[in-house]
Chain A
């Protein structure tokens, strides 16, 4: 099955802990994205990557980090520096920079 897989679906984290969200795609897409969605809000861009070993900050990158060591993988680390990390995190990928993006099923992170 071709697609984008995010794991885990639900994640609970204690304050002060770093946590890594997984995103894997087997669509052979070059571009990958991470978004955050808060209740009743749209999607806000955290980081994006157009090619392997390169990525750019989005609008709300503070407190987050990413890597793109493989074409199919784009993990997101939510660090303890992120002040309000509880949110719905969405990973997406696209063939190129200007083509349509497809989403994984999302990871719902709750800080307890």
Chain B
């Protein structure tokens, strides 16, 4: 089975620090990668999308993709208590004659004041 793997955490960082979240995937053919944030009891919201190797920055967030290592990461600079949430890595994987978004189990992030 094609998989998306994340450390479940919790990852605890102090306010103002950099939080680093990691994800690996098994399907070498995957071409689309996403990070979602999910607050408890709410639906996921898209933070970043990345399609090519390298870094992509958006405000305090940086997504990094390395297709050779099948690895995607999310850096959150100047972490704030409001960043405390579960972060879900998602990868488009081909199965059953179509592409679908497959999710990791998520990493819980706690930013302490």
Contacts and interface: CB of A to CB of B under 8 A. Distances in A.
A, B bound: yes
Interface residues of A, number: 26
Sort A-B residue pairs by CB-CB distance and give the 10 closest, nearest first.
A42-B105, A97-B99, A43-B103, A103-B43, A56-B96, A98-B32, A48-B100, A42-B103, A100-B49, A106-B43
Nearest to B1: A59
Contacts of A100: 32, 34, 46, 49
B101 A33 contact: yes
Interface in B88-113: 88, 90, 92, 95-106
Contacts of B106: 42
A63 to B, nearest CB: 17
29 contacts: A33-B100, A33-B101, A35-B103, A42-B6, A42-B104, A43-B44, A43-B88, A43-B103, A44-B103, A45-B100, A45-B101, A45-B102, A56-B96, A56-B97, A57-B96, A58-B100, A59-B1, A92-B101, A97-B99, A98-B32, A98-B92, A99-B32, A100-B46, A100-B49, A101-B90, A102-B46, A103-B45, A104-B43, A105-B42
